[in-house]
A = this chain, B = another copy of it.
Amino acid sequence: MSDFKDFIGSEKGPQCPRVYILALTDTLNVISGKWKLPIIAALLRGANRFKDLLDSTEKITPRMLSKELKELEMNSIVERKVYNQMPVLIEYRLTKSGKDIANVIDSMIDWGMVHRTQVITNSDTGEEKVNKTVG
């Protein structure tokens, strides 16, 4: 485990290694935006053709799907395979990294669920808070 807290903990202590920052921004780039996680989820569910992804990712336009798939491919999250039969068949599949990102998703879900219970518990103690995403 990398334990970011140890490096971020003190100004005079060891500096947070640059590779950690790079790894972190990589991850954020991969999952940020409106469509990345829905697309990854659809691929995890087994959808693999452009049309499947269009149908199973609600409300996405072909332009956005095309753009997002290109980015995911550039970042080695997705592989695009062309089968030269007639008519041509194109499949998108998650790479190993693409599948592994489910671990990050799990830790996000865990934090999010605990966070919600903490927010609700605190608002019961009389402290009124306005919350944008949690309430």
Tell me the A residues contacting B by CB distance below 8 Å. Answer: 1-5, 8-11, 16, 19-20, 22-32, 37, 41, 44-46, 71, 74-76, 95-97, 100-116, 118-119, 122, 129-134
Contact, CB under 8 Å: A11 / B45: yes
CB distance from A39 to the nearest CB of B (A): 12
- Contacts A75-B131, A75-B134, A96-B118; is A108 near B44 (CB within 8 Å)? no
Chain copies in complex:
2
Contact, CB under 8 Å: B23 / A112: yes
Chain B neighbourhood of A109, CB < 8 A:
2, 4, 20, 23-24, 27
Contact, CB under 8 Å: A102 / B22: no
Q: In the assembly, what is the distance between CA of A27 and CA of B48, in Å?
A: 27
Q: Which of B10, B37, B106, B122 contacts A28 (CB 8 A)?
A: B37
